[in-house]
Amino acid sequence: MTGKNSQSNLLSGSPKQSIRLVLHDGTTFVGQSFGFNQSAAGEVVFNTAMSGYPESLTDPSYRGQILVLTYPMVGNYGVPPMVRERDVLKYFESENIHIKGLVVSEYSAEASHWNSWKTLSQWLIENKIPAISGVDTRALTAYIREKGVMAGKILVGNEGLEFEDTDSINLVEQVSTKEVITYGSGKYRIVMVDCGVKTNIIRRLLLRDTTVIRVPWDYNFMDLEYDGLFISNGPGDPKMLKSTIEHLSKAINDDKPIFGICLGNQLLALAAGGNTYKLKYGHRSHNQPVRMLTSNLCYITSQNHGFATDMKTLDDNWEELFVNLNDQTNEGIRHKSKPIFSTQFHPEASSGPTDTDFLFDDFVELIKNSKR
């Protein structure tokens, strides 16, 4: 691996080409541009999934990050059309691309798929997202695993750009809805606190006879009438969301069902008086094994997070629901006497395995039971 302010000899691509990825410690990767010709700064993270880049790039949890994809070739199946179903986009996880930049080993300029609408390069350029190919992404990933995630920047030409500390930015405020939006007309009313919700979570809830009321991250939902409360995924440090934590701590005192996913798991822990911490390089993939402690069954899950819950800081009212089998970090909690639970992984997948989709059924069943 390269030293400070030097170029890796593991990388393909000519040093004459003026696009490069520069890490905060000075390590530099040179490659070719296939996105928008503009520099960008963010936190460099990696995802080991084999597919699903349209979903990942539009996942609000990636806000502020330069995404490294470890799969060798990217772009061969193009980008699907922006069609809607149940008032939300059918093939994407939000209305926009949220990454700051994309890093791949080999970009496929030709796309072939029955649902391909345009190439990945065209999509990135239209959305003004820089992208670099010709990088040994597995060597880069190994480096991040050793050193930890760090700030980085994609530089086009000789353009100067400062590094960005994403942990000091309220990224949730950037991706959350600015207004209350209602989806569906089902029997069970669910308030969804939008911290950067993925569209497929809305889809999965609407399939279960629900009405989803999506509210901003800092909205005082305690004044609303609802049957269940959902806390969404989202980007950044959960401790920055003081308003959400305050509202959620009050909701815990009620007996209404609560379900949280990803950032929602961390926020629930903080609202319960627990603590969270940043992982060295996070979990971002489709192949994370978790064990459900109540059944001892193992599931393969889709994940995208950089922070985790410290289970040791929660009081005796809470118990661990899931644990990660790779590093033993927390993957979910639940209240021992109230209908409240959360997962650190993504049961809605999109993309990834759908092994744990049954958790949406469990949530709705808790709501039904609470109304009997």
pLDDT in tens, 306-343: 999 999 999 999 999 999 999 999 999 999 999 999 99
198-211 pLDDT per residue, tens: 999 999 999 999 99
Q: State whether CATH 3.40.50.880 applies to domain 171-371.
A: yes
Of 270, 353, 282, which is closest to residue 314 (Cα–Cα)?
Answer: 270
- Residue 146: active-site member: no
CATH for the stretch 19-166: 3.50.30.20
Q: Which of 247, 283, 286, 346 is catalytic?
A: 346
266-305 pLDDT per residue, tens: 999 999 999 999 999 999 999 999 999 999 999 999 999 9
| Backbone dihedral angles phi then psi of residue 268, each to the nearest 5 degrees | -65, -40
The residues, any chain, with a CB within 8 Å of residue 264's CB and separated by 6 or more, are 193, 195, 230, 231, 232, 233, 342
> pLDDT-derived band of residue 136, with 50, 70 and 90 as boundaries?
very high
User: What pLDDT is attached to residue 13?
Assistant: 34
Mean pLDDT in residue range 117-122 = 98
> pLDDT-derived band of residue 260, with 50, 70 and 90 as boundaries?
very high
- Residue 262: active-site member: yes
> pLDDT-derived band of residue 7, with 50, 70 and 90 as boundaries?
very low
pTM for the structure as a whole: 0.94
Judging by beta carbons within 10 Å of its beta carbon (0-12, 13-18, 19+), is residue 343 exposed, middle or buried?
Answer: buried
> pLDDT-derived band of residue 8, with 50, 70 and 90 as boundaries?
very low
- Residue 346: active-site member: yes
Residue spans in the chain of domains classed CATH 3.50.30.20: 19-166
67-101 pLDDT per residue, tens: 999 999 999 999 999 999 888 999 999 999 999 99
> pLDDT-derived band of residue 15, with 50, 70 and 90 as boundaries?
very low
Q: Check if the beta carbon of residue 194 is closer than 8 Å to that of residue 217.
A: yes
Mean pLDDT in residue range 227-255 = 97
Residue spans in the chain of domains classed CATH 3.40.50.880: 171-371
Q: How many Å apart are CA 66 and CA 57, to the nearest integer?
A: 10
Percentage of the chain with pLDDT > 70?
A: 95
Average predicted confidence (pLDDT) for the chain: 94
User: What pLDDT is attached to residue 86?
Assistant: 84
Q: How many Å apart are CA 263 and CA 88, to the nearest integer?
A: 21
User: What pLDDT is attached to residue 231?
Assistant: 98
Mean pLDDT in residue range 39-59 = 97
> pLDDT-derived band of residue 127, with 50, 70 and 90 as boundaries?
very high
Q: Which of 93, 262, 283, 305 is catalytic?
A: 262
pLDDT reading at 2 higher than 50: no
User: Would you state the structure tokens that stand for residue 174, as one six-digit string?
Assistant: 């950037």
- Across the strands, what pairs with 318? 335
Judging by beta carbons within 10 Å of its beta carbon (0-12, 13-18, 19+), is residue 106 exposed, middle or buried?
Answer: middle
Residue 271 DSSP SS3: helix
pLDDT reading at 372 higher than 90: no
Residue 139 DSSP SS3: helix
Q: Which of 43, 93, 164, 348 is catalytic?
A: 348
User: What pLDDT is attached to residue 47?
Assistant: 98
